[in-house]
Copies of this chain bind each other. A is one copy, B any other.
Amino acid sequence: MTDGDPIPAAAPVVRPLVWTGAGVRLLDQTRLPDEVVYLEVTDVDEVIDAIRRLAVRGAPALGALGAFGVALVARRASRDGWPADRIAGAIERIRTARPTAVALALGVEEASHRLDAGVDAVVAAASELLARDERRNDEIARLGADWVERRLGRRPLRVVTHCNTGSLAAAGVGTALGIIRELHRRGRVETVYVDETRPLLQGSRLTAWELAVAGVPHRVQVDGAAAGTILRGEIDLAVVGADRIAANGDVANKVGTVGVALACAYAGVPFVVAASADTVDPATPDGAAIPIERRGGEEVLAFQGRRVAPAASPAHNPAFDVTPAGLVTALVTEVGVTEPAAPDAAKPAPG
């Protein structure tokens, strides 16, 4: 955030990716919280590898990296005289490197529209996408915190979140974690229950790290603890992000999200989803139509190379799940807040 912003966060935000001129400098999120290691990607295969192994993750950050990936394609195509079909093939490989988040495809497509204007124009489009996401993050944080204060009063809250939706996942303060940071800035956070978010521990590794850096009180819990803690009355609010929202309001997000939503619905705790408006995909009618990425079993069966299950046991490893719209108390985007679970709720407006 720059000086003069109307809604400063409580602490500086981290930048997951920066365009260097030669390529994209990435904070390798697989190494956190042990080490803060940056790597620079300069060609298509490196971009795809960084996306697939989750060195960069989170819907908004994926969108930006996809756009810069198109810039790398454009530069290479210009230098080596690639034919149109080779350019299109490389761009398609980036666009589909992960299937669930709509932001990746949108970022790639937005940058691709500038291909005819040259490499600099594509870089400018990708940079504008980052800047726009930062402004959207701020607006989501403000609108979300306002909604929470109206709904729950101006008091310190016990908040649960799942996965990582902070500055590591976005260009600015993030989405769900941006709202939590803004609530903390206003003195409305007693503590944050951070779901560890198996299998890749984005909660304990990344969200806890961001909250520790920002000085927000928090505690890490296993994902299975969320429902019981909510039912015991120890949590006032849940805030999560989204990777894709169907036209009917169903929300695809990190696996484990719908369990939090079900517990909130049972206990009468508000379940808030925060995402940029273009996460709503009008081409996807409902949650059943959202492709759910199935990742490799070793993420579940081994930890840092050591097997934790018998050699003969396979795994089931969906990376996302779908929360029905009827379980979403509030959907916060930069254009406003809708209440899908309310009896006469309007459907979320397509982005």
**Taking beta carbons and an 8 Å cutoff, which residues of A are in contact with B?**
33-34, 162, 193-199, 201, 204-205, 208-209, 211-212, 218-229, 231-232, 254-259, 262-263, 266, 297, 300-301, 303-304, 306-310, 312-318, 320-322, 324
Contact = CB atoms under 8 A, between A and B. Distances in A.
B262 A227 contact: yes
Nearest to A163: B224
Contact of A266 (B256, B262, B314, B320): B262
Given A201-B308, A205-B309, A309-B208, A222 B314 contact: no
A201 B315 CA distance: 14
A306 B317 CA distance: 24
Given A196-B300, A218-B314, A303-B303, 15 more contacts: A198-B222, A199-B222, A212-B312, A220-B297, A220-B301, A221-B300, A222-B255, A222-B256, A224-B255, A225-B316, A225-B318, A227-B258, A228-B321, A231-B322, A231-B324
A257 B227 CA distance: 9
Given A212-B310, A310-B208, A256 B224 contact: yes
A312 B211 CA distance: 10
- A-B pairs with the 8 shortest C-beta distances? A224-B256, A228-B321, A227-B259, A198-B222, A204-B309, A208-B313, A223-B224, A262-B262
Nearest to A224: B256
A197 B295 CA distance: 19
Given A262-B262, A310-B209, A220 B318 contact: no
Contact of A204 (B209, B258, B312, B313): B313
Majority-rule SS of A interface residues: mixed
A315 B208 CA distance: 10
Contacts of A211: 313
A318 B212 CA distance: 22
Contacts of A320: 228
Contact of A224 (B228, B259, B314, B315): B259
A226 B209 CA distance: 27
A209 B324 CA distance: 35
Contact of A197 (B204, B224, B324): B224
Contacts of A223: 198, 222-224, 256
Contacts of A195: 224
A212 B259 CA distance: 28
A214 B335 CA distance: 56
Contacts of A193: 316
A209 B313 CA distance: 8
Contact of A33 (B204, B309, B317): B309
A281 B165 CA distance: 43
A317 B227 contact: no
Nearest to A198: B222
A225 B256 contact: yes
- Max chain B CB contacts within 10 Å: which of A193, A258, A318, A320? A258
